[in-house]
Structure 1
Amino acid sequence: MNKNIVYLICLMILLFLGITGCGPQDETRTFPNTRYVESYDGVRVVVPDHPKRILALSSAYDTILLGLIEPDRLVGINKLSTYPEYSMEAERATLVKPVMSSYPLEKIIALNPDLVIAPDYTTVDVIEGLRHMGIPTVVVAGGSTVEGVIKNITDIANIVGEPEKGQFYDTKIRREMDELKRLGASISPEHRKSVLFVSSMDGYTGTGSLFDDMCRYMSINNAPSAFGLPPRTPFGEERVLAMNPDFIFIPSYKGMDKGLSDRYLENPAFENLPAIKEHRVKPLPAAYLYTMNQHIGEAMLAIMHTVYPQLERNSHD
């Protein structure tokens, strides 16, 4: 969309709402207590010390925010965030209205947020349009590693003025990582199990993915990575047979995802695959696939215990 048209739409909406004045020069008037934060796109953004009308343009960041602030500080929520199978903060997410499935610029402006947190894939037109209207907009990069997720949590906590809570989750996750390390000490490299965690997005959990990095902490071999597949490579029949994973995990959406489960359980090509024959195709909460949030340590421990059930008796030693 032409930037001039975007700005014109924004101006019309603000006039309709009866808001006088727009643009960055009005930020200090609107938000008397402010500070600077660094945005991922290299911009220093003036944000309120204690923002009260926050909108995240990502379900992943919704989940992080719901662990940091009260729901009444959010002016909208992504629809996926309200599904228990997708988000471990779904119960709190249902307290937020409106529920959104997309983020058109004019709708964001109409919500009158005092802070927008945007993922790094948000279009430049949206970012510039919001900033042009005087709405503090901070871009946050997606976490593709466990350490990256921890950094995202603490960064977002600082952005919304809750650094202590960010530090709390940093400490919590690292304590869970220590437990993973302790449990993993009993699993020798030659006894590590291989796992194929599938997704409706082919290759999403493959080489170089967040799940790939999580496997290092869980003492698990991520089958695509161990087999040497390039990132984002689809898991076709021949590749799955060649990988021969010890476990196949299928994200559950109120039970298994039928399309994905049928692809493996009902496929004649896999009938002799040991994981199929020995009932090692298992459902796991879909939220574990999208655990780019404060629950990542819990998710890793749960997956590790599923792969190595013998660890259960040692987990409280």
Structure 2
Amino acid sequence: MKKVFLTLLLVLSLSLFAFQPVTLVDDLGRVVKFDKEVEKIVVAAPAISDFIVKLGEKDKVVGVTDFDSYITDVEKIGNMFPLNVEKIISLNPDVVLLTGGFQEGEVLKLEKYGIKVFVINPTTLNEMFRDLSLVGVILGKEKTAHDYAQKLRTRMLNIAKNTFTWKEKPRVIYLSAYGSVSQMWTCGTGSYLNELISYAGGINITAPYTGNNGWFAVGPEFVVKENPDIILVPSYYPGDKGAYDLIMNADQFNDINAVKNNKVFIIDGNKASLPNTGLIDLLGELNNLFSENK
């Protein structure tokens, strides 16, 4: 009788930890049902790989794009767009993780062949925390993801609470320039980088404006008129000073405070352009930068 009881107890315990079907809504508003445990994943957007690595489930990834720097030792599927559907089919994934925007049209291509697709496309810090939790549910690491998201959120809020009391805050602009300063991309309301600048203790001078996901182009006249204290420029690989040199050497910017006072700072363009947990590291870096230059 004791053996029977122990056996029943073991079966009950195992059933509690068995996979339970779950239905989730992705960032395109699509309802996606997971009927079985996800064991094989293709990641078609590098930013999402960061979530998977941080949750300790890298071994479930069977394919990534050629541009993935988070997971490099699995099969390559080629470009982010258009996707190599044949290659993805050959990997027989349980789900393909995509981002929004230019990849949205790839959803129907994959579904045509019965491949499950889930779209992760956060545009704000809160959406990033939520999507980290969603990936955790998909991976069967719901609690781990929830706890990690809460840890990151607490770190963000602690920085924001501290900078809220600052009496003086630097006026900041982010400028991404290629070839010339005639057109430069920047971040306004609706972008996670605008949130980072604000939480880190800066006043983003482009906050009153917005564009596609908060990003839009400005000309040199705008920058001269606003006269920022600090200019942030991206660098995407060691030694990349393209945007920095353009800003510092532009005749139009000679009298801008940020240029005159040598307050043009290079930040990691990869962190700034990928909506994942690296944003919180960048937040800390910006906070240190602004606190030293306010």
Answer yes or no: same fold by TM over 0.5: yes
Question: What is the match of residue 260 of structure 1?
Answer: 243
Question: What is the match of residue 37 of structure 1?
Answer: 23
In the aligned structure 2, how far is the partner of 1:36 from the partner of 1:243? 50
In the aligned structure 2, how far is the partner of 1:286 from the partner of 1:237? 21
Question: What is the match of residue 85 of structure 1?
Answer: none
Instruction: Work out whether 1:60 is the aligned partner of 2:30.
Output: no
Instruction: Please give the TM-score of this superposition, normalised by the length of structure 2.
Output: 0.80
Instruction: Work out whether 1:298 is the aligned partner of 2:277.
Output: no
String of CA shifts for 1:137-185, please: whole Å, max 9, x gaps.
2223x22211111111111111222112211221211221232034214
Question: What is the match of residue 8 of structure 2?
Answer: none
CA drift of 1:74 comes to 0.9
Query: Which of the residues 73, 88, 92 maps onto 1:112?
Result: 92
Q: Is the 8 A contact 1:56 1:62 kept in 2?
A: yes
Q: Which amino acid aligns with 1:135?
A: I
SS at match of 2:52: helix
Question: What is the match of residue 196 of structure 2?
Answer: 214
Question: What is the match of residue 24 of structure 1?
Answer: none
Q: How many percent identity over aligned positions?
A: 22
Alignment of 1:152-301 (within 5 A): 152-188=131-167, 191-200=168-177, 202-225=184-207, 228-231=208-211, 232-255=215-238, 257-301=240-284
Instruction: Work out whether 1:98 is the aligned partner of 2:76.
Output: yes
CA drift of 1:261 comes to 1.8
More strand by share: 2
CA drift of 1:59 comes to 1.5
Q: Is the 8 A contact 1:180 1:217 kept in 2?
A: yes
In the aligned structure 1, how far is the partner of 2:19 from the partner of 2:286? 44
Question: What is the match of residue 181 of structure 2?
Answer: none
Q: How large is the RMSD of aligned CA atoms in angstroms? A: 2.6
Q: Is the 8 A contact 1:47 1:115 kept in 2?
A: no
Q: Is the 8 A contact 1:68 1:165 kept in 2?
A: yes
CA 1:150–1:200: 2 relative to 1, 3 Å: farther
Runs of 5+ in structure 2 lacking a partner? 1-17, 179-183
CA drift of 1:255 comes to 4.0
Q: Is the 8 A contact 2:77 2:88 kept in 1?
A: no
CA 1:39–1:110: 2 relative to 1, 3 Å: farther
Higher mean C-alpha deviation, range 259-268 or range 129-138: 129-138
CA 1:291–1:303: 2 relative to 1, 3 Å: farther
Runs of 5+ in structure 1 lacking a partner? 1-31, 83-89, 312-317
SS at match of 1:138: strand
CA 1:39–1:129: 2 relative to 1, 3 Å: farther
Q: Which amino acid aligns with 1:210?
A: Y
In the aligned structure 2, how far is the partner of 1:198 from the partner of 1:271? 16
Number of aligned residue pairs: 266
